[in-house]
Structure 1
């Protein structure tokens, strides 16, 4: 079991002024969507550059559209590479989904769970990696319909990882959300994920629309079942680096730090358990 416990926070522009002065010790790394920062100049651009020079950053993209039938936007990918190079960022993840066709859909659409889609994505992953000269890490997404599925979500994710020989950003909240919405066993899904391919984790809050419908909003506190699933994940796969996502209804930093502290406590508990067992 790895003992690379780190806890991170998704950086939002409104946090720049505060963190330019001081970054709390509990935050080991930040994550940003490169699309939101690539063209940033002026005061914000200088503040961001100063942060990337002093702190670890991961990138989690929104617009790659790895599963689209449209050709990859090579100029956009080259822009991503330039951004990663400029800021010395080695970690670049994206969603296992698509968000474009004849135009941009402005949403993360679920892939058809088919062998054809697996092969299509695997080929495009290799194209992207050749350009960015880094691994492309793919995230399991939350989804609300599965048209034309010939495989389960779990089978599809595993097949993509194997065919593309790529790494996984495992979103624990998405597992929980999908398990409720599609009536599957979250623990079994979690256990099926290959430890050696998991690069890091996401955890977040969600909105309960109905007992059988949860919406992945990143706009609320993490609930107890997701905390338990995160603890189970550490027990199975090790205390991997974990990113707290909060995109809406963002509370003051001291409130966010309470959840980051809880992530770190869960990681520490997993390490203690591993040492006792070892």
Structure 2
């Protein structure tokens, strides 16, 4: 199985003419949404195979709906496993949320931060991991309401990580958005996470609806306070593979690669600082 490292970019059909036949060397790994590729055949499958033989891939699902009260779609999860195995993809990440309730809702809804929800989600995670035969990696999501909240987002997230055995995808833009919208300290949230659970990260842009309302869109450049949070996350937990998300208003590949290079620069700087600190060298 291919392991990811460094800085990545989302793999999208709109990019194929720019990135094939030879994948850009600046991108260390690519992220694919299995649901967007499993149904496709013909030329698209040939192009995906061509890409996946050149570079490491991770995956980020859209419809697992781990927090839903609906029954888990076991056949769907088995299909995901076949996709991962056939393309040599070791890592399957999803959202700590739900997107179905007697039908698909096409949005990421917040799971209530309650002990009951922790138990429910943990049991489903274990079932998914048994089928996939690999750890499930769950992303902290942006949310705009917190129904029935009995514990903090951090307490809820840590309970899920501890009790399920799953790993974490840390999205620093989602932390930033939530910290503004819900009035908590972003650095305290990041510092409160278990380092050994963080295996992967996202960074993205968002939309400023108002001073106290940010909307997670993945449709804009990353802003400096979010880059600063990435630096803080690396200094706290060590450098982990990090992917640039851009789903709307997609600019040229040259512009995207500039942000990918910035991730790599921050990673290199963070490693240098940690090495110097470990060696006792004054910077």
TM-score of the alignment, normalized to the shorter chain, above 0.5: yes
- Quote how far apart the aligned CAs of 1:18 are: 2.2
Judge conservation of contact 2:23–2:54 (CA < 8 Å) in 1.
Answer: no
| Distance (whole Å) between structure 2 residues aligned to residue 208 and residue 18 of structure 1 | 30
Residue 254 (structure 1) aligns with = 254
Moved over 4 A (4+): none
| Distance (whole Å) between structure 2 residues aligned to residue 152 and residue 136 of structure 1 | 22
Gaps of 5+ in 2: 279-283
Residue 177 (structure 2) aligns with = 177
Residue 277 (structure 1) aligns with = 277
Residue 148 (structure 1) aligns with = 148
Judge conservation of contact 1:139–1:168 (CA < 8 Å) in 2.
Answer: yes
| Distance (whole Å) between structure 1 residues aligned to residue 88 and residue 257 of structure 2 | 26
Q: Is residue 116 of structure 2 the alignment partner of residue 100 of structure 1?
A: no
Residue 39 (structure 1) aligns with = 39
Gaps of 5+ in 1: none
Judge conservation of contact 2:60–2:94 (CA < 8 Å) in 1.
Answer: yes
Count residues in correspondence: 275
| Distance (whole Å) between structure 2 residues aligned to residue 167 and residue 264 of structure 1 | 23
Judge conservation of contact 1:61–1:92 (CA < 8 Å) in 2.
Answer: yes
Higher relative contact order (CA 8 A, sep 6+): 1
| Distance (whole Å) between structure 1 residues aligned to residue 41 and residue 60 of structure 2 | 20
| Distance (whole Å) between structure 1 residues aligned to residue 212 and residue 202 of structure 2 | 22
C-alpha RMSD over aligned residues: 0.9
Residue 245 (structure 1) aligns with = 245
- Quote how far apart the aligned CAs of 1:52 are: 1.0
TM-score between the two structures when normalised by the length of structure 1: 0.97
Residue 16 (structure 2) aligns with = 16
Judge conservation of contact 1:5–1:264 (CA < 8 Å) in 2.
Answer: no
- Quote how far apart the aligned CAs of 1:5 are: 5.4
Per-residue Cα deviation, 1:80-131 (whole angstroms, up to 9, x for no partner): 0111111010100010000001111110000000001001111101100111
